Every structure is written in structure tokens, then in C-alpha cells.
Amino acid sequence: MIDPWTLSSTSHDRDRESLLRRGNVFQIANGYMGYRGTLDEFGPEESVGITLAGFYDQAGEAWREPVNAPNGGYTQTALEGVELSALGKHVRRHRQTVHFRNALFERETEFAVKGKTLRLHAVRFVSADQPNLGAVRLTFSCDKPATLVVRTGIDYNIWDLNGPHLVDFAPSQRGGILLVQARTGESSRKVCVAEALRGTGAKTGETGAEGGKLLRSLTLRLQPGQPQVLEKFFAVFTENDPLSGPIDLAAEALAARAAEAGFDDCLRRHGEHWTRKWSRSDVRIAGDDEAQHALRYSILQLLMAAPVRGSANSIPARALSGQVYKGAIFWDTEMFMFPFFLHTLPETAAELLRYRIRTLDGARRKAATEGPGYRGAFYAWESQDTGDEACTYFNIGDPVTGRELRTHFRDKQVHISGDIAIAMWEYFQVTGDDSVLLAGGAEVILECARFYFSYAFFKPEKARYEILDVVGPDEYHERVHNNAFTNMVARETFAIADRVVRHLRRRHPRKLRALVARLRIGTELRQFQTAARLLYVPKPDRRTGLIEQFEGYLRLRRATPAELAAAKSHPNEYPGAGQGLAVPTQVIKQADVVMMLYLFRQRFTERIKRANWEYYEPRTEHGSSLSACAYALVAAEYGNLAAAYKYFLQTAKIDIEAKYKVYVGTIFTGGSHPAANGGAWMTAVLGFGGVSDNGKRLCIRPRLAPKWSGMEFQITNRGGSFHVAVTGTMVTVTARSENRRTHLIDVAGKTVRCAPGKSVAVTYAKPASSARAA
């Protein structure tokens, strides 16, 4: 029986790979920082990382990446003079657990030393109530009288992928509080960690800094049946925090306040936030424990990574599990994570959009410098704090020759701007709230349209615009022409620009005038309308329904991902770029046309969805964690529920199973996969739950996964919140009593009125499933 609210492991394998994976799987985070799932006594060799959101540094010529803070959660213990580690030989039993309800990490380890058994139990969390705060409670018990020396404090030996990022460490002590201050090497921004202790009557021995650790020493006399408890509180502040005073004072004060309040009180407040989060976003599945567990874990990952309110930060491709992929924000956020927040916690969706508004100037700089005559906003493929491009031209190394490969992710993967414009508009459409558009979102959209207009070519002989020389979502085929996904996204951006202008003209004419004047975009608005009409998008073949991924794709050699894998000279060989193995073949890295069919699902028939899914699926390597959910979603759309379920499970279990590849070429890519986590939610709720928005109202048309006897979820739409319960025959929608008005909702094809606090039940016929699993 799987506990649907926890994930545990008894592994204490010490090999690097296992340590890295456990660090990812058991991480906890609160949007401000992510604390990897490592143990109290671990250091940089075991990949401890407290990764700070939105706080970056570049060391020399190495990649810029987020900064890892000194570890204020560090504790080392010695029983009868023998130092203890879960990786050492004295371990009798070990278990570590992450609790989904409140993002709590727990470890229990039993050590046997000199005939005595010590049980170390520790729980920790990074506070959802006070994002700068982390807390740990350690409980020690022994079956015989024993002496335990505990050395606890701050470890400022830091694990970095491309560091070191912090310099000039200054350890100090103020009263009982330990402090480590440092600054980043690149821009001299300060970081401070303060740590305070509470509990036990033990006398504190010496405190001092040695070997990169600022520790105090305590000697505990343990008696059987009398556990001793230590509570640790650490506060992390950087110069990114919106403070009026010095960060060391803020850190010191927060650690002291937390110690004064105590662990239980801090945990209670943290827990209240988590109860609220789950009440808005939990999904219950009846009849499938495995899916339930994996989906909850996926939702937990998204909730933990959600940016702190007011930060205008976003979620990196590996969330806060470490520095992988430069802590950069990709299209993953808008296309795969954003829908979860949009439909459950729209205030967080708005925060993600504010990040793109905040970094608009970086996108403008990229357009101005990246290509000939580009204008507007060319959003970075890998975006960090300023929005400038973090992706390098030679972004992947060949594992055999060690040579750097020229990739075109940076300069040709232009769909990112349109992905952002689509999310901006969708927020307005689904929430009815135009405040984000007014606070910069409209400007982002117009600048994205301007960029595409500068990128597109008009072909007079064909009387159409085309988009040439791009990389679509399938990164194995570079510099292709008229990629269906990219062209569709660009055309949509032009259409959205037009809709935004019309909305502003109707509702906020003065603001529109000011914006148009400031951007000097008046004459271009017409051009966007024309481009929305005349931009070419590859169409489905009349006979087969097939959409060619890009010009010439269908003439490439037919091959399967397995054939390609067998031809590799090294397991980590990158099959794209230049002469890559996939380049002359039809093997694609990830969903491309199929992703387009999902994104624009209302515009394609089931026949087209099926035809393309069946063509591209055997050719897709799923070499990106973004791929499986697109296949799951489109399979659900055209009624192949068995295949949808298979891909759903792959997506939902990716981080629990942690069997993903950790190298692309020579780049280490291990970490968590929030896009897949978002994809799991999308498949469950938008796919099997059948939730969509038709531009006027919420629609629910379920097609449950074959194994599921029912599901329940929460949905927010146009200012209203709803609980939806689906069984095999019935959909019951309950409007929350806080809703301000009665909403019209389409349920299984029927339009019903849903008044605050009231339920409406509609029976539906199960759609027939075309049973073939891929």
C-alpha cells in the first residue's frame, strides 16, 4: 500500500550518482531557496546545496549560475568519540522521507557504536511563512548511557557546478547567534546566513571557525528513554532581498525570532500555508494508488518551486534542486508549468509573468544584438536575472572528442517569445484580470510581435510571410525552415497583439495611446494584422492528415530512436548539432508537431491529432522530459486513453523514479523536472479531467484514464473557484461559497449555472477509447 502523502527511501548508498539522485528526490523548497535532500552531516562532497532563487553569479569564464548559500543546517555528531555519518560503517538502519503535506524532510538513522545504539531523528523545512527561514529539529536517543558530542552551525564549504561564487567569508558570533557573511565574486553582492539554537540543557563548549565551518560544540549526556532535542534555525538573506537595512541584521533578527518562537510554532505557521496551497491544488484519483502518489509528488514539486510573492521570479528548468542548466528559465515555465498555476493559484501564474515583464529589456537587448535587424523582444532561450541570454553558442561538448559543439538553441530557437505572449494572453482570458497586461504584459506582447515581424520574410511570389532558419522544439534538427510549431506560435503572437490592442482600445484607450507612443509602434500594428493573415503555417496533408514538422522533414531518412541509440559511439553522445546522428533522419528529440496540436487543440480535429501522433510517436526519442506529457495530452484528445495513461505515468514518475539521463553530451543535467511535473498535472486535469477554456467559460468534458474510477480536483476560472468530482458517469461541480457570482460552465456539453456554495451534477457518457497503447 503506497502512502499517497510521503516518499521514503532506506538507501544510504554512497556512490556519487545515488547521492546526487537522492539529493534531488528529497529536496525541499519554498520558492526562495531549495535545500537538497542531503543529510545533516553531509558537506559539498555529498552535493549539499541551498540554492537561492534568482540570485546568480559568474566565476571567471564559467557558466553563470544560481548561488548556493552556506549551509546553516549543518550538524555533525560523535558517539563515544566516533564520528557518525549515514555513509559510514556504523549505520544499522536508515530512512529518509519527504512529507508532501507540508514539504517536510525527515531522516531517521540508527548507529551502533561500542555496543550502544544511537537513534538520530531529524526533521527540517524551509518556511513557506518566512521564505528566508529554515529550521531543523534533531532528536537524539540512546539505549545506554552515552556521551554524544554535537558540533553544529554553518558549513560554508560550498558545492558548486561552476563556482566558486562566494568570496571573503566572514564568520562571526553575536550573542548565541552564528553568522557567516560573504559576497559574490562577480558583482560583490552580499549574502548572510545566521544560525540560532534552542533546546537541551547541554552546555555549549567552544565555538569557532575551522576548515570552512563555523561550529559550536555541545556535549550531551544521553540516558536511555530520555531523548534530547536540539532546534536549529537558519536565516538566509542576500542583497536581492527588498530590505531597508543591512542583511546581517535581518538574518540575525529572523534567526533569533524563530528560536524564540520555537520549532513547533514555526512549523505550525509553515503548515498553515501548505494547507491553503493543497486546498487549491490537490487532485484525488480513485482506483490508482501509483498514479495518485506520483501526481501528488509532482504537484508538491511545483508548489515548492513557486516564486515568492512580489519577487517577480520564475521557475528554472531544474527548479531549485541545484545549479543545473544554469538555474535558467526556459519555455518550460510558460508551456508546461504555467497552466497548473493558472488554473489553481493564478496569483502565482501572475508572478511568473511578471518575471517576463521584468526581463523585457534583456529580451530587447538580445534582439538588438543577436541577428541582422531584429527588433522587439527576442526572449532568451536560457534566461536568468536580467533576461539576457545565458545560453552559449557552443553549448554542448562531445563526450568522445571533448570538442565543443555549435548548437543553435540560443540564436535560432525563436519560439520562446511567442510562448510567452501566449501565456500572457491566456492569463487574461482565463482569469478575466487585465492587470498583468496593464502592468507590462501588453508591452511584452507587442514587442514579441515586433520581433517576429522583423524575423519573418515576405515571399512576394507566394504572397505570404515565412519564418526561415529556426530550431523548433525538436532540437535535433537545427536551422530548418517553416517549422510548424514556430510558425503557428508566431502567427498566434500577431493575432494576440491585435486582440490586446482591441482590448486596450475598448477598455483603456488612454493607456493604449501612451503605450503606442512610447513604443513608437503605431504603424506596425497594421503590419501585425497583415502578418496574422499571411504568415504561412504548414497545413495537414489532405489525404493523410500529416503536418510536416518543417520543410523537407518527410524526405529525411526513416529511422527509429533505437537504431540511433545503437549507432552511438558513447552513451552520452549528442545526436543533434552539426553532424549528429539524428540530423539526416526523421528521429526527433521531443514532441514538436504533437506539442503544437496540444497547444492549439481547439483548432484541430481528432483525425489530425491521431494521424500525427501515430506518425511522430515511433520517431520520437523523448530525449527531453517535456515530451511524454505532450504525447499523453494529445492521445487523450483523440481518445487513445491507454497511450495517454502510459505517457502520463512516465511524466508523473520521472522525479520519483529518478531514472532520467543525467548527461547531455558532456553537460550534467541531473535535477528535478518541474516541466514534467506540470505536464503530469496537465494530463490529469486538462487531459483526463477534460478541462479547457473556450474563451467564454470553463468547460469540463472528462475522459477518465481506464484505471481510474473517479477523480476530484480544484479549478479556478474567471475569479471563481470550483471543486470538480468526476465518476465514470457523473460530473459534479461545486462552486466555493467565496465566489462572488454565479458562473456559467460547460459540463459534458451542457451549459449549467453554478451559484456560490452550490453544486451541479451532470451525467455524461464515457467517450469510447481507441484502446491501442503505444
Q: State how far Cα 30 lies from the chain centre.
A: 12
Residue 270 or 589 having the CB closest to ligand IFM = 589
**DSSP class of residue 308?**
P
Establish how many alpha carbons lie within 13 A of residue 491's alpha carbon, considering only the half-sphere containing its beta carbon.
Answer: 20
- CA nearest neighbour of 110 among 81, 147, 143: 143
Three-state DSSP class for residue 47: coil
Q: Are strands 743-747 and 698-700 parallel, antiparallel or unpaired?
A: parallel
- The grid coordinates of residue 649 equal 505515468
- Looking at beta carbons only, is 441 or 678 nearer to ligand IFM? 678
Type of residue found at 371: G
In whole angstroms, how close is the CB of 664 to ligand IFM at the nearest point? 8
Q: Which of 568, 579, 661 is nearest to 622 (CA)?
A: 661
Stretches 145-153, 273-281, 330-338, 579-587: which one binds ligand IFM (CB under 6 A)?
330-338
Shortest separation between residue 548's beta carbon and ligand IFM, angstroms: 20
**CB-based contact 296:282 (threshold 8 Å):** yes
State which H helix or E strand residue 108 sits in: strand 104-113
Residue 332 sits in the site that holds ligand IFM (CB under 6 A): yes
- Restricting to residues 656-695, which ones interact with ligand IFM according to CB under 6 A? 675
443 catalytic per annotation: no
Q: How far is the CB of 419 from ligand IFM (least distance, A)?
A: 10
Which triple of cell numbers denotes residue 436?
Answer: 498583468
For 577-643, the three-class secondary structure string (H helix, E strand, C coil) is CCCCCCCCECCECCCCHHHHHHHCHHHCCHHHHHHHHHHHHHHECCCCCCHHHHHHHHHHHHCCHHH
Strand segments (E) across 391-497: 396-397, 404-405, 457-459, 464-466
- Quote the cell numbers at residue 106: 525527515
Q: Is the peptide bond before 540 cis (omega within 30 degrees of 0)?
A: no
> What values do phi and psi take at 58, rounded to 5?
-120, 130
Nearer to ligand IFM, 251 or 390 (CB): 390
Contacts of 251 (CB under 8 A, 6+ apart): 132, 179, 192, 193, 194, 235, 236, 237
State the cell numbers at 639. 481518445
Q: Which lies closer to ligand IFM via its Cβ, residue 102 or residue 486?
A: 486
Which positions from 395 to 414 touch ligand IFM by CB under 6 A, shown as an x/- string?
A: --------------------
Q: How far apart are CA 483 and CA 620, in angstroms?
A: 16
Choose between 473 and 580: whose C-beta lies nearer to ligand IFM.
473
Q: Nearer Cβ to ligand IFM, position 103 or 664?
A: 664
The percent of the chain in helix, strand and coil, each rounded to the nearest 5, is 35, 25, 35
Exactly one of 26, 100, 278, 331 binds ligand IFM (CB under 6 A); that residue is 331
Report d(CA 181, CA 170) in Å as an integer.
Answer: 5
| Residue 322, φ and ψ in degrees, nearest 5 | 155, -160
**Contact positions with ligand IFM (CB under 6 A) in 619-648:** 624, 626
User: In whole angstroms, how close is the CB of 325 to ligand IFM at the nearest point?
Assistant: 6
Identity of the residue, 20 or 437, whose beta carbon is nearer to ligand IFM in the bound complex: 20
Are the C-beta atoms of residues 590 and 517 closer than 8 Å to each other? no
Binding mask of the shown chain, residues 418 to 457, with x at each position contacting ligand IFM by CB under 6 A = ----------------------------------------
Least separation in angstroms between residue 352's CB and ligand IFM is 15
CB 448 within 8 A of CB 415: no
Which span (327-335, 383-391, 490-498, 715-723) binds ligand IFM, by CB under 6 A? 327-335
Amino acid making up residue 176: G
Part in contact with ligand IFM (CB under 6 A); list of ranges 221-229, 328-336, 643-651, 655-663: 328-336
x/- letters, 296..325, toward ligand IFM (CB under 6 A): ---------------------x-------x
Neighbours of 209 (CB within 10 A): 18
Which residue's CB is nearer to ligand IFM, number 629 or number 675? 675
Give the SS3 label for residue 325. Answer: helix
SS (H, E, C) 514-577: HHHHHHCCHHHHHHHHHHHHHECCCCCCCCCCCCCCCCCHHHCECCCHHHHHHHCCCCCCCCCC
User: How does strand 71-79 pair with strand 65-68?
Assistant: unpaired
Closer residue to ligand IFM in complex, CB, 558/661: 661
Min separation Cβ 268 and ligand IFM, Å: 36
Of 760, 626, 765, 630, the C-alpha closest to 704 is 765
Q: Which three cell numbers, joined as nine digits, stand for 53?
A: 532563487
Q: Which is nearer to ligand IFM, 475 or 548 (CB)?
A: 475
DSSP code of 470?
A: B
Q: Is the CB of 120 or the CB of 628 nearer to ligand IFM?
A: 628
CB 126 within 8 A of CB 133: yes
Does 473 contact ligand IFM by CB under 6 A? yes
Residue 700, classed as helix, strand or coil, is strand
List C-alpha distances in Å: 319 to 70, 168, 316, 503: 19, 28, 5, 34
Count of residues of this chain found to bind ligand IFM when the rule CB under 6 A is applied:
10
Q: How far apart are CA 454 and CA 377, in angstroms?
A: 10
| Binding span for ligand IFM by CB under 6 A among 104-112, 171-179, 301-309, 329-337 | 329-337
Q: How far is the CB of 203 from ligand IFM (least distance, A)?
A: 51
Residue 214: closest CA among 63, 76, 418, 361: 76
CB 304 → ligand IFM: shortest distance, Å? 18
The position carrying cell 526562495 is: 32
| Nearer Cβ to ligand IFM (475/492) | 475
Minimum distance from residue 104 beta carbon to ligand IFM (Å): 28
Q: Residues 60-99 vs ligand IFM: string with x where CB under 6 A?
A: ----------------------------------------
CB of 385 to ligand IFM, least distance (A): 18
**Residue of 475, 548, 573, 617 marked active site:** 475
Length of the chain: 774
Q: Please tell me whether residue 616 binds ligand IFM under the rule CB under 6 A.
A: no
Instruction: Please say which residue, 325 or 550, places its beta carbon nearer to ligand IFM.
Output: 325
**Shortest separation between residue 17's beta carbon and ligand IFM, angstroms:** 20
Question: Which residues ranging from 529 to 568 are in contact with ligand IFM (CB under 6 A)?
Answer: none
Q: CB 331 → ligand IFM: shortest distance, Å?
A: 6
For binding to ligand IFM (CB under 6 A), which residues are involved? Answer: 317, 325, 330-332, 473, 475, 624, 626, 675
Q: Hey, which residues are catalytic here?
A: 475
